[in-house]
Amino acid sequence: MKLVNKQGKLFGKIHLVDCIFIALIIILLVSVLNRFTFSKVDVITNNSQNIIAEITVETYPYRQEYLNSISVGDKIAESKKYLDGEIKQIDIIDDDIALIDNNGDTVVGAHPFLKKAKVDIEIQVKVDGNKIKLGNQELVAGTNIFLTTDKAYLSAIVLDINLNE
């Protein structure tokens, strides 16, 4: 009895192509199970703690009137509830605009209508391993967050995060 006969059957029972197909399906299933069962890094670090953090954010360019709606002492909110934090300082700065003058040179100046706000916030954040969460938003320097108070809903970029441990 040969291992593979003239018809391409293994041990005279099953086709060789079918064996290869079944082996590929088994390898695929094992790799998918391995990926979903052994790639959980979050399970290792379950010791989350609440820490007071000082966060500096810069809003996107808005009109001056809209930026005047936030003030020092406003409570930070998210999903119709207040978080344990407030705005400590607000600096309203000009937004830059680049234009070309008559000589063809680029001139950078202040935008006539749009302003930005650099906002310092002191708030309680949840630290879980290497993740810092502000409510439902994960904080990483350079990412976008929504700065929400009872009077304003601003889109902002995180500039700096200082944890007070």
**pLDDT(41) > 70:** no
CB atoms within 10 A of CB 139: 20
Q: What is the pLDDT of residues 57-67, one digit of tens each?
A: 999 999 988 89
**pLDDT(45) > 50:** no
Name the pLDDT band for 134 (thresholds 50, 70, 90).
confident
Q: What's the pLDDT score for residue 80?
A: 80
**pLDDT(40) > 60:** no
Name the pLDDT band for 42 (thresholds 50, 70, 90).
very low
Higher model confidence: residue 43 or residue 59? 59
Angstrom distance (rounded) from CA 140 to CA 26 = 40
DSSP 84-149: EEEEEEEEEEEEEEEEE-TTS-EEEEEEEEEEEEEEEEEEEEEEETTEEEETTEEP-TT-EEEEE-
Tokens in use for 46? 């379950």
Name the pLDDT band for 43 (thresholds 50, 70, 90).
very low
Q: What's the pLDDT score for residue 144?
A: 92
Report the predicted TM-score, pTM, of the whole model to 2 decimal places.
Answer: 0.64
What is the maximum alpha-carbon separation in the chain? 92
Q: What's the pLDDT score for residue 160?
A: 93
